[in-house]
Chain A
Amino acid sequence: MGFLTTVDHKIIARRYIITSFVFLALGGVLALLMRLQLAQPEARVLSPDRYNQIFTMHGANMMFLFAVPVMEAMGVYLVPLMVGTRNIAFPRLNAFSYWIFLAGGALLWIAFALDMAPDVGWFAYVPLSGPQYGAGKRADIWAQMITFTEIAALAVAVEIVVTVLKQRAPGMSLDRIPLFVWSMLVTSFVVIMAMPAIVFLSTSLILDRLVGTHFFNPAEGGDVLLWQHLFWFFGHPEVYIIFLPAVGMVSSIVETFARRPVFGYLAMVMALIATGMLAFGLWVHHMFATGLPRLSESFFTASSMAIAIPAGIQVFCWLATLWDGAPLFRTPLLFVIGFIVTFVIGGLTGVMAASVPFDTQVHDTYFVVAHFHYVLIGGAVFPLLGGIYYWFPKITGRMMSETLGKWAFWLIFVGFNLTFFPMHILGLAGMPRRIYTYQPDMPWYGLNMFVSISSLVLVAGFFVFFVDAIRSVRAGVSAAENPWDAPTLEWATASPPPSYNFAQIPVVNGLNPLWDQPACLMVASGLRTDRRELIVSTVAAANPQVPGGLTGKFDLAILGCSRDHRDADRVDLHAVGGRLGIRSSCSRIDRLVLAQGNARG
């Protein structure tokens, strides 16, 4: 039962991360099936109906079950550690969100196993998904999966916002928040503003389908474009929900491996916030082909191009940091450099597609498929893999292999570009997306074969990554507290961190606490040790206000389990005390840690 009822943010985040990577692997298998089918003209590997299910499953799975959850999970793991607190805010809500997410994922995949998977594309446009054309249960499965996963995402967003605003270590004022934490804060606000749109959307689709409402039925005063507006009002910010945490990871990695504080901290924070706000002014660029009024199209072209500005600022800040630093080209940094290269290409094709005449030409072709994989894989998966290599020692207490890491990086980087670059050309040559096959007289044959073979290289890279990760959990070199000599607080505690994260809450007086005071961590005493008590601090200056902990409105739900946890914490802390020869009846750790300080000199 302890496993099921835990409220430790690290255990729940680990669960989230592993589950999302399983979904990544499953989605990768689907991608391989599609590439197998498309390698040659008139192939018969998949039936047209199965192909429709598979591209829908692939897209929905990658977006809703892999990319968003994995990014939020990294936040759930790292944010409390980075801000120096003992747990995430509303830990039971956090535990609950995982099960909701899992239910959504299981629903989708079980439906697929029963040949009932959605077949309407990952954005499920009406009228195709509506009651008239979408017979059966398939579109309902899509909508229900969406509802589950978005509720989970909203719950996590609330936890992260409150953790960042109210549980930062004393002294961590707004200008001392690590950039990754800033990125998760902005992301969480984007989730809060964007996800309600899709919750409304999936609900109204189910209502249209099941109880006969007419939201999307033009014959009774509804509208089909309403779907597209609402979907992309959520869907475009969705890209930033995936991308912003990745940017935060990049900043962390660049800083540590360039061996100097990140260049332009304030500009970076402003760029994050600007990106989060601009994200809501872009949605119509997905609808250029629907013939909206010219004026609104021009507006959305301009805003789509404007978002290149904050992106550019960040790229320049990273390059400046690397330029001025003494970069160590370890695996995490390799992935970051792969990210910068790929993301610049993806950004360029994005700016191209933001121009209406060009977009009208390439809309719904493989050019777009190439573009968004450059942004999603290049812009988010590369940093994520770099982040896994970087934080793996913290999470598991063991290092991943540098050799395998370099192999994984080069296979993925080369395989990725060989797979997706030619898709631009295929798209320009007129190959539409979402077709299950093509005739031999089309000029696409050779290139499709090439793409399919290259995708094997890409998948081999992911395979090496998975092997490395699984092997290292058991057999990796064991990691010290701070193996990369990094500057932020998650590295100030053991690897992996104890259930209470910090025996004493850290006190911060700079942006890079572990570099500012390399030898010694400043801490505060006076919190209880018999439960995971933590400090609630003010929003701007992070001045301590009151103790907080495992109680509150959302925590009323499962009172039973909190007691085990308090006990578990007590045992842990007292075990430390025991080793240092402190009587295990001590109720406040300050004595213990003072003794610890004396013991070590």
Chain B
Amino acid sequence: MKTRVVADFSGLPIHGFGSASVTWWGTLAFMLIEATGFALVIAVYLYLMNLAAVWPINAAKPNLLPGTLVTLILLFSVVPNYLISRWAEREELRKVRIGMVLMSVLGTVPLGVRAFEFPALNVNWDSNAYGSILWALLGLHTAHLITDLVDTLVLTALMFTRKGDNSRRFGDVQDNAMYWNFVVVTWLPIYGCIYWIPRL
């Protein structure tokens, strides 16, 4: 087909941050999938609770300490997470490197505490349906913690190589920060379900 040139794009900026990046939208779409998943599992929790005569079924209420500790660490982590996103936007390599190390630590620590959370549920997955859904909720969220931690560690390593000082990598840092916010935010309703609904 005959063509006529009506525009020239050689002057476009090389890299776009945030909503100008395709990866950002991909991350958003995956967050939508996972948020739907979380919402469904919470709906199942409420459905089973509705059916049960007593809730928790044949078990003591979960101990508050480890879960609350995880919540506090996660909430605190949002602050450096916000900062690192800003540094990445301004492409401040040194600060981003420090921030990534900090975020790697803040990803590992809650995972360590999480190990104590499972026994603190005071019920096994195969005891009854209450136990099953509790383990499902906690397991699903733990899977997200682990995924994001792996992502963060790989990215941290990358930032210390020659490939780090590059607009696209800074974009990845931003997307990673956005995903971490998602992991933190989705935890709050789950925390409420597991620890506080039985206490209502």
A interface vs B, CB < 8 Å? 89-90, 154, 157-158, 161-162, 165-167, 170, 192-193, 195-197, 199-200, 204, 207-208, 211-215, 217, 220-223, 226, 229-230, 233, 481-482, 492-493, 503-505, 507, 519-527, 535-536, 539, 544-548, 551-554, 588, 590, 593-594, 596-597, 600
Contacts and interface: CB of A to CB of B under 8 A. Distances in A.
B19 to A, nearest CB: 8
Contacts of A158: 26, 29-30, 33
B5 A504 contact: yes
B3 A214 contact: no
Contact of A492 (B1, B30, B37): B1
B12 A546 contact: yes
Chain B CB within 10 Å — which of A213, A221, A507, A552 has the most? A221
B44 interface: yes
A200 B8 contact: no
Contact of A162 (B20, B29, B44, B132): B29
A481 B40 CA distance: 47
Interface string B8-51: 11111111100111110111011011101100110010011001
B96 interface: no
B1 A593 contact: no
B21 A536 contact: yes
Contacts of A207: 125, 132, 136
A197 B38 CA distance: 10
Chain A CB within 10 Å — which of B3, B8, B172 has the most? B3
B126 A214 contact: yes
Given A162-B25, A196-B37, A223-B48, A215 B15 contact: no
B155 to A, nearest CB: 9
Nearest to A534: B22
Nearest to A208: B132
Given A166-B25, A600-B2, A221 B130 contact: yes
B200 interface: no
A523 B5 contact: yes
B6 interface: yes
B48 A226 contact: yes
Range of interface residues on B (Cβ < 8 Å): 35 or more
Contacts of B16: 536, 545-546
Given A193-B36, A523-B6, A526-B9, A222 B29 contact: no
Nearest to B54: A221
29 contacts: A157-B29, A161-B25, A162-B25, A167-B22, A170-B7, A193-B36, A196-B34, A199-B37, A207-B136, A208-B132, A220-B57, A220-B127, A221-B57, A222-B132, A230-B40, A492-B1, A520-B3, A521-B1, A521-B4, A522-B4, A522-B6, A525-B5, A525-B9, A553-B26, A554-B23, A554-B26, A597-B2, A597-B3, A597-B4
A230 B23 CA distance: 31
Contact of A596 (B3, B25, B30, B126): B3
B52 interface: yes
Contact of A204 (B4, B29, B34, B136): B136
Contacts of B19: 539
B2 A521 contact: yes
B117 interface: no
Given A522-B3, A553-B172, A214 B25 contact: no
Given A492-B1, A521-B1, A522-B4, A223 B12 contact: no
Given A221-B48, A226-B48, A162 B26 contact: yes
B39 to A, nearest CB: 9
A313 B127 CA distance: 52
Given A158-B29, A192-B33, A196-B36, A527 B129 contact: no
B168 A551 contact: yes
A446 to B, nearest CB: 47
A547 B163 CA distance: 20
A536 B20 contact: yes
A199 B44 CA distance: 14
B129 A215 contact: yes
A524 B8 contact: yes
B9 A535 contact: yes
Given A215-B132, A220-B129, A524-B7, A545 B12 contact: yes
Contacts of B168: 551-552
A213 B125 contact: yes
Contacts of B57: 220-221
A527 B4 CA distance: 15
Contacts of A229: 47
Main secondary structure of the interface of B (DSSP, over half): helix
Chain A CB within 10 Å — which of B7, B14, B131 has the most? B7
B135 interface: yes
Contact of A89 (B22, B47, B126, B127): B22
Contact of B33 (A196, A220, A507, A527): A196
A89 B7 CA distance: 23
Contacts of A492: 1
B9 A527 contact: yes
B190 interface: no
Contacts of B68: none
Contacts of B1: 481-482, 492-493, 520-521
B133 interface: yes
Nearest to A546: B16
Nearest to B2: A520
Interface string B129-157: 11111011000000000000000000000
Given A220-B128, A525-B7, 11 more contacts: A90-B22, A213-B129, A221-B130, A481-B1, A503-B3, A521-B1, A525-B5, A526-B10, A536-B20, A552-B168, A553-B27
Contacts of A481: 1
A230 B12 contact: no
A587 B175 CA distance: 32
A130 B132 CA distance: 15
Given A214-B132, A222-B132, A197 B6 contact: no
Nearest to B37: A196
A173 B22 CA distance: 18
A221 B57 CA distance: 8
A161 B29 contact: yes
B37 A200 contact: yes
B36 A192 contact: yes
A521 B7 CA distance: 12
Chain A CB within 10 Å — which of B6, B8, B11, B132 has the most? B132
Nearest to B11: A526
Contacts of B34: 196
A207 B140 CA distance: 13
Given A158-B33, A162-B22, A213 B132 contact: yes
A339 B20 CA distance: 41
Nearest to B179: A553
B22 A588 contact: no
Contacts of B22: 89-90, 162, 166-167, 536, 548, 552
Contacts of A548: 21-22
A526 B8 contact: yes
A290 to B, nearest CB: 14
B10 to A, nearest CB: 3
